[in-house]
């Protein structure tokens, strides 16, 4: 009798296995599978290789010689920027890094392809960006003339600089020829083809109104409010004319 009961229980158990298996939701089974896999994925580990790679630049705060020096230093601390692009099309991403102090140079780190970089800014002709009337704030790579080589816009408090990539590892300043020689106190720029004509246009964000912040005659250019200032610099939109020049269409 006991043997029959045990056989009955075993039979019932065997019958229930496929029923229970069918009742398990596919999502729950999938989650269980992923959970098991996740337990076997090794943790990611990052190592600081900045100096080993040859990236040795350091950002310096701009110093001002005017009654608002302490406040202005705080604003220009925003000017530490890095932009990445394969400017020489060798298959390795290079890095452009800005600085802000009056005598400081900007840096262009060429990727050597062996996990190291070499600063070639002097050779490439892109060290300029900081002087008595201008301070670098941002950088943007974009191909404004559609020649396949990334060009470089150095966004500045003051006049920004557009460097044309000559395709041989060097750049030339084409700011004035391109129609971008304008005092803007810019702090950010993005490139996008807003009219879908095949040439990228520019949107430049300005922190202050177009006044000389390095030799101000009045403090009225400071934001009236950090939450909802109505006296900021606004944005400026430049349309790419497809001939190496831009026109403001804000």
Q: What pLDDT is attached to residue 37?
A: 58
Q: How confident is the model at residue 79 (pLDDT cuts 50, 70, 90)?
A: low
Q: How confident is the model at residue 213 (pLDDT cuts 50, 70, 90)?
A: confident
Q: Which of 89-103, 143-157, 230-244 has the lowest mean pLDDT?
A: 230-244
State pLDDT tens for residues 222-244: 776 666 667 677 899 999 999 99
Strands of 29-89 (E only): list them: 82-85
Rounded mean pLDDT, 32-58: 78
pTM of the model: 0.79
Encode burial over 54-78: b for 16+ CB neighbours within 10 A, e otherwise. Answer: bbebebbbbebeeeeeeebeebbee
Q: What pLDDT is attached to residue 36?
A: 56
Average pLDDT over the chain, rounded to an integer: 83
Separation between Cα atoms, residue 217 and residue 10, nearest integer Å: 95
Separation between Cα atoms, residue 77 and residue 135, nearest integer Å: 10
């Amino acid at each position: 009798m006991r043997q029959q009961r045990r056989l009955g229980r075993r039979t019932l158990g065997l019958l229930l296995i496929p029923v229970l298996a069918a009742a398990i939701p596919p999502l729950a089974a999938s989650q269980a599978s992923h959970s098991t896999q996740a337990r076997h994925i090794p943790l990611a580990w990052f190592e600081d290789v900045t100096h080993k790679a040859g990236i040795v630049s350091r950002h310096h705060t701009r110093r001002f010689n005017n009654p608002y020096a302490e406040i202005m230093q705080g604003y220009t601390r925003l000017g530490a920027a890095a932009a990445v692009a394969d400017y020489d099309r060798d298959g390795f991403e290079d890095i452009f890094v800005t600085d802000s102090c009056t005598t400081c140079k900007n840096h262009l780190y060429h990727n050597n392809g062996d996990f190291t970089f070499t600063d070639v800014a002097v050779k490439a002709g892109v060290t300029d960006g900081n002087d008595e009337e201008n301070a670098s704030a941002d950088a943007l790579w974009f191909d404004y003339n559609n020649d396949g080589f990334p060009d470089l816009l150095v966004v500045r408090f003051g006049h920004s600089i557009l460097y044309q990539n000559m395709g041989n590892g060097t750049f030339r300043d084409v700011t004035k020829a391109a129609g971008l020689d304008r005092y803007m106190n810019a702090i950010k720029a993005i490139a996008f083809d807003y009219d879908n004509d095949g040439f990228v246009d520019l949107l430049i964000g300005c922190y202050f109104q177009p006044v000389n912040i390095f030799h101000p005659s009045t403090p009225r250019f400071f934001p009236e409010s950090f939450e909802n200032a109505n006296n900021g610099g606004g944005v400026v939109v430049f349309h790419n004319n497809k001939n190496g020049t831009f026109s403001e269409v804000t």
